[in-house]
Structure 1
Amino acid sequence: MKARLTRSALGVALLCLACGAQASSHREAPFITTVPKVDATDFYMFNSYESGRDGYVTLIANYQPLQDGYGGPNYFSMDANALYEIHIDNVGDAKEHLSFQFRFKNKLSNSGAGTALNIGGKMVDIPLIQSGAVSSVKDANLQVNESYTLTVVRGDRRSGTAQMVAHATSGATTFDKPVDNIGKKTIADYAAYAAKHVYPITIPGCATPAKVFVGQRQDPFAVNLGTIFDLVNAPVSVITDPALINAVPNTIGDKNVTTLALEVHKDCLKASATGDDVIGGWTTASLRQGRLLDPKPGSGHQTSEKAGGAWVQVSRLGMPLVNEVVVGLKDKDKFNSSKPKDDAQFADYVTHPTLPALLEIALALPNTAPTNFPRNDLVTTFLTGIKGVNQQKTVTASEMLRLNTAIPAVPFAQQNRLGIVGNILAAGNDNAGYPNGRRPKDDVVDISLVAVMGGLCVANGDTDKLGFGAACKPSAVPLGATSFKLHDGVD
């Protein structure tokens, strides 16, 4: 499984409609299935590899999974009663010290009156979000205009110092979001239209300008969800044969997500100019504690709900796949509401993972799960970072992406789809990929399969040469070198 990408980092994240990033979290917890607008599908954090963007870090949070391209007439606006955030821990205590907050507004045209047509002498509102072709920002043919504000908070996300982010040229603090890709008759060149919504921004406290984009992107998550969650309904001979990585059809290749993307200089993300080069990051979404349905809503846009009270976190995503296939079902909602600093309560799911045992059952391969309990190799890989690569100088075991901003970015064409794992197994030269942050090209499903089934312990050898612990050795991995070949059958 790998993203179908051919462009550089920022171009991929912000400008390419047909490109995107692998999605790892679709409807992963019971409650989040009831509020899809705040369902985080993916979080990415990587050193930008566009030409001329040395020193920048790209942050991408994707929301609203499985959007259909034909999802009219309302399409997929963001929740105006929600708070979407990207958090950075730059000291290693598993707490946010920098947060970027996105808030959305959905407003009807004509100062809230909407778009009406003269029908037999009466002005009657139209039922669609557009009345004609759309090509520009705030196009007159749009009945619904979606905008957002961006706030940077230093310190605690709720009690820290909050400042508005502004357009670097105009000074405006409200940004327009492109309407979703309705179709070619409405928007002849969606890529060009979306590109008009990439904004240069000034972040208070940061010396270097940044960029922001929010809009619909194609979700190229190359996976057959039916096969995977039907007890891995694929022959063992397929998922252990590297020549068959395209054997299973990608069932969601035509789905979309909504992307929140920032490109920020690393000096803005670090605690100080001389601070730790390794940063941690994750995304969350929150809803108001009180949400009441109005039995007699008035005219307007989204008037059936009244929301108020404190923010309540309902979605969380850092490392991919964690809440989807690691955390137990009964704790999935709990995990989505938790903070990294409290992750000790979920430690058993990593030190004693059930996924290897489930794969034994699903594939009828008894006695193939690794036996090195507790699985400190997984703790290192997913909860603390790898020493000398992406482990912070002071580290608190917790689930988040960790990125070493000092490791040079690798050009797209030279990137190893297996990231650091590929580097370990193939003696390559790419330490800039997952789990050192996460790039769009990183094949996180295959990487995770190799790791969870003990591939890193085979590579660690009997002398702990990679530092995963003495118990992490080949004899603890019944699959042996076969664990290196595991894949999900979709590329």
Structure 2
Amino acid sequence: MKNLLYFIAGLLAVVCLQPSSAVASSHREAPLISNDPLADNTDLYAFRSPANDQNVVLIANYIPFEHPAGGPNWYSFGERIRYEIHVDNNAGTPGSEIIYRFEFKQMNEDPTTFFNIRLGKENLKTTYTCQRSMDGGRSFQTIISNGVVPPPNIGPRSIDNSTVGLGTTYDKQVEKGIMTASTGEKIFAGPVDDPFFVDLGIFDLGAVRSDNPRDAVARFNCHSIVIEVPIATLQRDRKPVSEAKNILDGDYVIGVYASASRQMIKTLYDGGDVGYDGEYRQVSRLGMPLTNEAIIPIGMKDRWNATKPSDDLQFAKYFSNPELALYMDDSQFGTAVPGLAPLRIQTNSLGAFDFRNGKPGLFSLKGTESVKGTALDEAAFGSILLPDNKSPRAVDLLPIFYTGVPNLPPYQLATGKGGRALRAGKPFINNFLPTLGDLLRLNMAVPVTPRTSADFSSLGLVQAAVLGLTDARYNASADMQFIPNMDGFPNGRRLEDDVTTIELQAVGGAVLAAIGLWYDDFIPGTTASPVTPNLVSVLGFKAGPTKNDKPFKTMFPYEAEPWRGFQGPSYEGKKVDAPAPPASMEFAVRVKSFSCTNGDIVFEAVNPAPGKTVEYSAAGVSVWTTNPNLRVEQELFWDNNSSGVLTLKARYLNEPGSQVSMEYDFRKQCSRARMAAEPTNATASFSINVLGNPTNKDVVAFDLRGNAGEAMEIGVSDASGRTLSHAAFNATGNVERRSVRIGRAPGIYFLKVGTPKETRTIKLLRE
């Protein structure tokens, strides 16, 4: 029997080593992860500290979708799991040079109660040991023993109440959890508000809701490991940032990934005991965000999570021809995913280069004089970046994820290139660490963009590229200079960065355009500016929410405190039999006043909570704002064919869950006599007949009658009032047929036709 048990144990060990038994990471994105959430990496961040620019902040988050009220046994870091943050600072040596390892343990201070916290005692109280290796894992040094993990933020009786609870505020618990390692690092491990923001409706076959997104992780918590460490500790030669040669010094590039590992064998005993044995094996990992969620196919996701970044070359084909690109290509499945319609990959960039899946991309230049002295030269990295004539995105997406981007042509902004994409241009990124593995790469020499700066943007390096191409402060020369948001994703990742939008824009060709491989509607020698409608469409795309549901802190540990499970007066002294408050006392929104002359509208909050700030929004009026004095968009206000029904919304600032709404029909409230005509004329003397409305095309034709001999102006704008096109004509015939281009994205557009006497506006629906 004993030999049989050993045989079974050995067989289990072999099975556990197979990739199919790995557990996934990043918000439940792989098949097996739902069975082991405590080991699930959700997000990874690496950025230069906004509070002390001599330091770098590393954040590894675990345990997705923690409900704040998830008692009686709240979420916690798992025992017998090794949580690790790996730092690679030398591409010439295999694996990570620096490893921070965390192991947690729990104990009950009062095992006689089923409560988590009672009478000042905490059950499942969690502490940790942190070890650090500076030699690639060959040896480890303990730098924190008995580290404090704050308790779950259960509610006012458990935390604040001095009689039955801990008698403190939760922010004080967080302060107690901030530790200083013996080697100088500042470390925090504990529950936080999940800082990620995303509309998971995108996984309903690309159902992007740009105009009305829902943050799927709003009001959920996770568990976080935060390390603030001096740059000199992470730099391969232990140099402080003051010794950097310039702001893109390649000696200051690091690559980071986080992982969780479990022992190979788990044994269940009678009586509820559990035993663990065997070596530790990686069961989840995370470097670049959304890699396993949106790039690796489902049949390979579990293998991905069991693989170390040093063995990632087997997955390179998914970056050179990403599945997502098929839904941004009308010759494939682009028309089937309207939510991604603003994103269309270059098929004939500069009249020569096709970057659709399976197409040559820049391969025709391989080995030519054109690429000599560039990163595409065979003497440099041409074998990786131009591997064959069927891997077009090996030139842009593969380096972003696998090698980092070097400060070499063609990976410099088009500024200063004189229209030739392969020439040297304006430097804006260098996070090159060619390990050929998925790592979050950060150049620690790049300065910090102040979070209070008007230039700070959640679009990270994409916004830096826009400024470098279009802003007079930065596009006057090709000289190296700091451009705001050069410290943003994909050069590291800040908490505020909208990585979902940035990565989708990148798949849509935004990086190619930034270096001078423009979109198809730019015709060299003909088109005046490369800032064409296609480029504007990509840069205007939003994948969903653009900020977290809670504001981040300005100081360590930077993430917001976890949502409280139970809160408010209903949990402090309210009687069980107390009647519910009358509907008249509930938080609501209404119209305080409306002008039938010009569409001025004043919102009003009804019964707002004391001390809380209210913000307002309505489609056709305004995005979220705390200013209640607004105006209906004029195209909508004067378009008598529209319903006139507005959906007014209000909520407390940074509390999406508090949203209330009402419908208001402003046409019904106003006299038809006052709303019947355009403000310039009471009677229209010419007519407009749109040929196809609604339409599923980008171009709409229409006939005009009754304005013979008159000058005419035609304009198209979107629902936000942004002008998309404008044209003027000196004289027109009695019947005039014209066509206009509207946006690619489904939605409402306005066709505005004006003569010296009058103006007409027609609403167009793009399906």
Provide the rounded CA distance (Å) in 2 between the counterparts of 1:66 and 1:201: 30
Q: Per-residue displacement from partner, 1:157-189 (whole Å, max 9, x unpaired)?
A: 3xx1111004xxxxxx22121111111221132
The answer for the alignment partner of 1:270 in structure 2 is: 235
Structure 1 residue 184 corresponds to structure 2 residue 156: yes
- After TM superposition, the structure 1 stretch with the greater mean CA deviation from structure 2, 262-271 or 355-364, is 355-364
Q: Are 2:226 and 1:251 equivalent residues in the alignment?
A: no
How far off its partner does 1:223 sit?
Answer: 2.3
Give runs of aligned pairs for residues 157-168 of structure 1, distance below 5 A: 157=137, 160-166=138-144
Q: 1:436 to 1:426 in 2, by over 3 A?
A: same
Cα offsets for 1:342-369 (capped at 9, x unmatched): 1110101101100121452332879944
**Deviation per CA, 1:228-271, whole angstroms, max 9, x where unpaired?**
1111224xxx64xxxx4xx2222321100000011000111112
Quote the residue 2:190 is aligned against: 215
Shift of 1:211: 0.4
Partner of 2:292: 323
1:85 aligns with 2:84: yes
Match of 1:106 in 2: 106
Q: 1:193 to 1:293 in 2, by over 3 A?
A: same
Q: Distance in 2 between matches of 1:263 and 1:336?
A: 26
Which residue in the other structure is 2:244 paired with? none
Larger Rg: 2
- What's the secondary structure of 2:99's corresponding residue? strand
Which residue, 449, 471, 484 being the options, matches 2:504? Answer: 449
Q: Which amino acid aligns with 1:200?
A: T
Which residue identity lines up with residue 197 of structure 1 in the other structure? G
Aligned to 2:59: 60
Partner of 1:289: 264
| Paired position in structure 1 for 2:603 | none
Cα distance in 2 between the residues matched to 1:180 and 1:364: 38
Taking the aligned partners of 2:544 and 2:518, their CA distance within structure 1 comes to 33
**What's the counterpart of residue 277 of structure 2?**
308
**Secondary structure class of the residue paired with 1:161:** coil
Aligned to 1:230: 204
Change (3 A) 1:33 1:390: farther
Q: Which residue of the partner structure matches residue 40 of structure 1? A: 41
The alignment partner of 2:401 has SS state of helix
Matched residue, 2:129 = 149
1:423 paired residue among 431, 442, 464: 464
Q: Quick one: which of 512, 516, 522 aligns to 1:461?
A: 516
One-letter code of the match for 1:289? Answer: M
Deviation at 1:417, TM superposition (A): 1.1
Structure-2 residue corresponding to 1:196: 176
Contact 1:29/1:329 (8 A) holds in 2:
yes
Q: What's the counterpart of residue 10 of structure 1?
A: none
1:222 is displaced (CA, Å) by 2.5
Superposed displacement of residue 143, structure 1: 2.3
User: Compared with structure 1, are the counterparts of its residues 411 and 382 closer, same or farther at alpha carbon in structure 2 (3 Å cutoff)?
Assistant: same
The question of whether the paired residues in 1 share the 8 Å contact of 2:43 and 2:60 is answered with yes
> For the Cα contact (< 8 Å) 1:288–1:311, is it kept in 2?
yes
Please say if residues 455 and 481 of structure 1, whose CA atoms lie closer than 8 Å, have aligned partners that are also in contact.
no
Equivalent position amino acid for 1:396 in 2? T
CA drift at 1:480: 4.4
Structure 1 contact 450–485 (Cα < 8 Å) conserved: no
Who is 1:489 aligned against? 544
CA contact (8 A) 2:403 2:433 kept: no
The separation in 1 between residues aligned to 2:517 and 2:305, in whole angstroms, is: 38
Inter-partner Cα distance in structure 1 for 2:317 and 2:300: 12
Question: Would you say how many aligned residue pairs link Structure 1 and Structure 2?
Answer: 407
- Aligned equivalents of 1:186, 1:290: Cα separation in 2: 37
8 Å contact from structure 2 (residues 459, 499) kept in 1: yes
Give me the TM-score of the superposition, normalised by structure 2: 0.51
The match for 1:362 is 337
Higher relative contact order (CA 8 A, sep 6+): 1
Alpha carbons 2:431, 2:491 under 8 Å: kept = no
Match of 2:132, SS state, is: strand
Q: TM-score, structure 1 length as denominator?
A: 0.78
Q: Does 2:112 correspond to 1:128?
A: no
* Percent pairwise identity: 33
Q: Which runs of 5+ in 2 are unaligned?
A: 1-24, 161-168, 240-249, 329-333, 347-355, 362-390, 408-427, 469-482, 520-528, 547-767
Quick one: which amino acid aligns to residue 77 of structure 1?
S
Check whether the contact 2:344–2:509 (CA below 8 A) recurs between aligned residues. Answer: no
| Secondary structure of the corresponding residue to residue 185 of structure 1 | helix
Aligned counterparts of 1:459 and 1:391: Cα–Cα separation in 2: 15
RMSD: 2.5
